[in-house]
Amino acid sequence: MNDLQPHRARKRFGQNFLHDQGIIRRIAAAVRARPGQQVLEIGPGQGALTAALLASGCQLLAIELDRDLVPLLERKFGDRPNFRLQQGDALTLDLASCGPGPWRVVGNLPYNISTPLMFHLLSQRDAVTDMHFMLQKEVVERLAAQPGSKAYGRLGIMAQYYCDVEALFDVPPGAFTPRPKVDSAVVRLTPHAILPHPVRSEKLLHDVVRTAFNQRRKTLRNALQGMIDSAALEQLGIDPGSRAETLPLATFVTIADQLADQQDA
């Protein structure tokens, strides 16, 4: 609305407001929200994407951390029957308290919270249908990376353990106000209905992946020293001279399951 006072983006919230209508339409088309679907928008900002999502007829719950944006959003969308607004921190959000799901999650996420927020939501993945996020392009590349690429590491392995990852399209800095210094990209995360490589202990899997990539140029023999020895790796059909960046998710699951067996013995 024209009578709304402009809101200055705040660095402490990592705010970069999307204004490019072409990008907004592409995101809305990628989400493909439908009437009656429960959609959670994290960080609606000034409501650019919010308007496009509401036009689909979905039931939209917007979570906004910045208290100063709440009146602006209420004035823009408060009369819409399919709009709800909650002021709060998405990092502490309990989806069960938001109402019956399943939820489709959408958000333009600042870099400093993107990884912890994704894993906070994945810990509630039974209530999530899919997630569409705009992130730094580098983060999307890491999420979707495959073995052998420079971007392949902990983030991609653990994200792909829980969900299918699709890098959709890039977004240039000029699509935002203020203009960020880096390129962005949109990614779709769809939690697996059945985990393709279920592990006995997710904690052990986290530990193995973190340790293996702490010094990514080390061989497994050296990187995992103290966790599992070369003989045990060879018995699993894994070359101790290989490096973590060359191994698929299934291999890390195999190592974690072996460690679980050792603990049980």
Same domain? For 144 and 259 the reply is no
Same domain? For 171 and 219 the reply is no
Closest CA to 43 of 4, 86, 1, 2: 86
Cα distances (angstroms) measured from residue 231 to each of 16, 214, 221, 236, 255 = 51, 22, 10, 9, 12
Q: How does residue 12 score in pLDDT terms, banded at 50, 70 and 90?
A: very low
Q: How does residue 225 score in pLDDT terms, banded at 50, 70 and 90?
A: very high
Closest CA to 61 of 50, 71, 72: 50
Given this model, what pLDDT does residue 201 score?
Answer: 97
Residue 196 lies in a domain: no
Same domain? For 224 and 99 the reply is no
Final residue in a domain of this structure, among 170, 191, 212:
191
Does the pLDDT value for residue 242 go beyond 50?
yes
Domain that holds residue 66: 11-191
For 79-109, the pLDDT digits (tens) are 999 999 999 999 999 999 999 889 999 998 8
Q: Which residues contact 20 (CB under 8 A, 6 or more apart)?
A: 171, 174, 175, 176
Q: How does residue 1 score in pLDDT terms, banded at 50, 70 and 90?
A: very low
Residue 65 lies in a domain: yes
Residue 92 lies in a domain: yes
Same domain? For 215 and 162 the reply is no
- We report the CATH number of the domain holding residue 141 as 3.40.50.150
Same domain? For 61 and 166 the reply is yes
Q: CB-side exposure of 127: number of CA atoms within 13 Å? A: 16
Closest CA to 238 of 263, 264, 219: 219
Final residue in a domain of this structure, among 163, 191, 219:
191
Residue 168 lies in a domain: yes
Given this model, what pLDDT does residue 11 score?
Answer: 44
Given this model, what pLDDT does residue 181 score?
Answer: 86
Same domain? For 207 and 241 the reply is yes
Same domain? For 158 and 59 the reply is yes
Tell me the average pLDDT across 136-163.
96
Same domain? For 223 and 179 the reply is no
Final residue in a domain of this structure, among 147, 165, 191:
191
Given this model, what pLDDT does residue 48 score?
Answer: 92
Tell me the average pLDDT across 128-140.
96
Query: Structural domain tally of the chain?
Result: 2
Residue 258 lies in a domain: yes
Same domain? For 128 and 255 the reply is no
Same domain? For 76 and 129 the reply is yes
Does the pLDDT value for residue 200 go beyond 50?
yes
Does the pLDDT value for residue 10 go beyond 90?
no
- Report phi then psi at 185, rounded to 5: -155, 160
Residue 161 lies in a domain: yes
Same domain? For 243 and 156 the reply is no
Same domain? For 156 and 27 the reply is yes
Beta bridge partners of 17: 177
Does the pLDDT value for residue 184 go beyond 50?
yes
